[in-house]
Chain A
Amino acid sequence: MRALFLHWCRLLLLSCGYLLLNSCEQIDFSPYQVILESEQRDLNKKNLARIAALSLQPQDTLRFGLISDNQRFYNELEDVVKALNAYSAQEKRLHFVINCGDLTDFGLQEEYVWQLNRTKKLKMPYLAIIGNHDCVANGKKIYQAMYGPMDFTFEIAGSKFVVLNTNSLEFSYPVPEMEYMRQTMANSHEYRNLFVLSHVPPFDTDFNKDLKAEFAQLLRIHQVPYSIHGHQHNFSFSQPFQDGQDYLVVDTIQNRNFIVVTVVGKQVSFQKIDF
């Protein structure tokens, strides 16, 4: 009996092993698992290297696309990827695209992979900001494995971009990390433009109300052209604090539009494009 049983086990294990090695996608251990292939890891870092390789100079025109809140809208995500590629090829070249967060709805790895399999068809570098839905369950760990740190900065064509995690409700410690924001913005005079990007805008009820005044003040002091956000599933361009500071909120792709920002020296403008 023992020999027979072992024979069964061996057969089963061999067949499982074979399947496992050949089609990992069809083997799920848990909806909350965090197991990524190496080509699915550190994507912001890899794309920042691609952006740096563009070697744009301060006198060059910089143009980038903005999308947000793709969540469970995979049909629209496929369409926006096509629309961005077409815009970049036929209208004006986009140097990169940034997603302002909520890449997933439930924070599951399979959702992260579904959106990745679609956004990797973008012809230009693509950066992703963490949204509140991306934090749910093991989502933070998946974001960190797939994209990297939740707060990061980069520079291109004389402009600096400060990307912050502002999903205050999802963390047990105060978020956004104000010390990081202060430090990274301190040398703003060295750049022609300083952009701040995050998922939850500071005037939203989901933003930490104790930190909102300082956040807004920092933007004002450093003369940020636009503070760029998502989360509200509605496009808006406004000065919610009546302090002369512009806030650009990118619509969900479900409403079928994206933003193109053009930077020429200190001249910054944007266009909302329907697809």
Chain B
Amino acid sequence: MKTSYFLYFLFAYLMCFPFCGFAQEWQTIYAKRKWYLPDHTVVQFAGNIGFLAVGPGYSLAQDKINLDILYGYTPSFEAETSIHTLTGKFIYSPWQNRIKPGYIWEPLKFGAGVSYSLGSQFYTTLPRHYPDGYYFWPTSFRLTPFVGTSISKAVGNSNSLIKQVQGYTEAGTHDLAILSLTTNKALSPWDIISFAFGVKLKF
């Protein structure tokens, strides 16, 4: 089973290549980027929003706020139930430290994702055949709060498509796990925390 994880990893690794190859051509096409064009693109591993999640994102308020839109895929492994998840992710980064020329360290970030999982086994409003209020939570939407840290490095020059590469890591959880934790001394925060890792390419 664990070797299959690694194969998926390899796939993720290979997926990153095209970004580099096309960089030179893209920058001539989008010399001045339109407002709707994303400010960065993200590849994230794990973190309750998919085995791998990819998608564009926008930078606001001098990069203190990031809004990412991610599609996440969780393979079925041995249970024939792959999961497709769409996530809107809000990240607030109050501190940006220039640790040495070309490097920016953001020691602490906060944020949350709202994720929507697709599939007939997930519902947003309780299906009609249940009595009212039978289950109080929607299974399709999850709130996934997290804290994280990141290091960015300037790459290329002002004409390059990709101007910064950021590596980040996050510790997060989801709303139902928090609910379980708050009502049980038997559970510890460590039980509900999981880690995510990602790469952000900034245009």
A residues in contact (CB < 8 Å) with B: 1-2, 4-6, 8-13, 15-17, 19-21, 26-36, 38, 72-75, 77-78, 105-106, 108, 110-111, 114, 118, 133, 136-138, 141-142, 145, 169, 205-206
- Report the bound CA distance from A34 to B119 in whole Å: 15
- Report the bound CA distance from A49 to B194 in whole Å: 35
A2 and B81 contacting across the interface, CB-CB below 8 Å: no
The residue from B6, B47, B139, B177 contacting A137, defined by CB atoms under 8 A apart: B139
7 contacts between A and B (CB under 8 A): A20-B5, A30-B117, A110-B192, A136-B139, A138-B79, A141-B81, A145-B79
Decide: A34 near B20, CB < 8 A? Known: A1-B162, A137-B139, A141-B81. no
Decide: A17 near B9, CB < 8 A? Known: A5-B165, A74-B184, A78-B186. yes
The 10 closest A-B pairs by CB, nearest first: A34-B79, A74-B186, A28-B194, A74-B184, A29-B51, A30-B74, A137-B139, A29-B74, A2-B20, A75-B186
A75 and B184 contacting across the interface, CB-CB below 8 Å: yes
Output the residue of A13, A27, A31, A136 with the most chain B CB within 10 A. A31
The residue from B83, B177, B191 contacting A32, defined by CB atoms under 8 A apart: B83
A1 and B155 contacting across the interface, CB-CB below 8 Å: yes
> For the complex, would chain B's binding face be called helix, strand, loop or mixed by DSSP majority?
loop
B134's nearest neighbour on chain A, judged by CB, is A169
B13 and A5 contacting across the interface, CB-CB below 8 Å: no
Residue-wise, chain B 104-127 has the 8 Å CB interface mask toward A (1 for contact) of 000000000000010001100000
Decide: A141 near B49, CB < 8 A? Known: A16-B9, A27-B194. no
- Report the bound CA distance from A137 to B197 in whole Å: 26
Q: How many A-B residue pairs have CB under 8 A?
A: 144
Q: Does B37 contact A (CB under 8 A)?
A: no
Q: Does B50 contact A (CB under 8 A)?
A: yes
- Report the bound CA distance from A19 to B45 in whole Å: 12
> For the complex, would chain A's binding face be called helix, strand, loop or mixed by DSSP majority?
helix
Q: Does B35 contact A (CB under 8 A)?
A: no
Q: Does B185 contact A (CB under 8 A)?
A: yes
Q: Which residues of A contact B12 (CB under 8 A)?
A: 13
The residue from A31, A108, A138 contacting B81, defined by CB atoms under 8 A apart: A138
Q: Does B183 contact A (CB under 8 A)?
A: yes
Q: Which residues of B contact A11 (CB under 8 A)?
A: 167
